[in-house]
Amino acid sequence: MGSLARRLTALEEIAEAARLRPYRLLAAELGMPVEELMNEAEQFERLVDRLRAAGKTERQIIEAVAAAAGADPDKLEQEARALADTW
């Protein structure tokens, strides 16, 4: 069972590294610590969840997130669509 446990641990580490890779790349691009970026992302996810639960439209959500981030809503929407197209 030791060999199986080591393999499982290795697979879990690979999965975690793959999950964190986009955050690390973006954090490096923005010149900020990855932990800070992940915390901000979680805050935005909670905001989006609250807005969806309140029945807000996608455009209203984009405008609220853009306001919270100090970004232009149209540019944010464009970047989000471009990112979604790559997935």
Whether residue 65 contacts residue 76, with contact meaning beta carbons closer than 8 Å, is answered with yes
* In the block, residue with structure tokens 């973006």: 26
Structure confidence at residue 57 (pLDDT)? 96
For residue 10, the 8-state DSSP code is H
pTM: 0.71
What six digits make up the tokens of 84? 């979604």
Residue 87 has pLDDT above 90, yes or no: no
What six digits make up the tokens of 28? 């490096």
Instruction: Tell me the average pLDDT across 68-79.
Output: 93
Confidence band for 85, pLDDT divided at 50, 70 and 90: confident
Q: Render pLDDT for 5-63 as a digit per residue (tens, 0 to 9).
A: 999 999 999 999 999 998 999 899 999 999 999 999 999 999 999 999 999 999 999 99
Q: Tell me how far apart the alpha carbons of residues 2 and 55 are, in angstroms, rounded to a whole number.
A: 50
* In the block, residue with structure tokens 């197209």: 85
Residue 83 has pLDDT above 90, yes or no: no
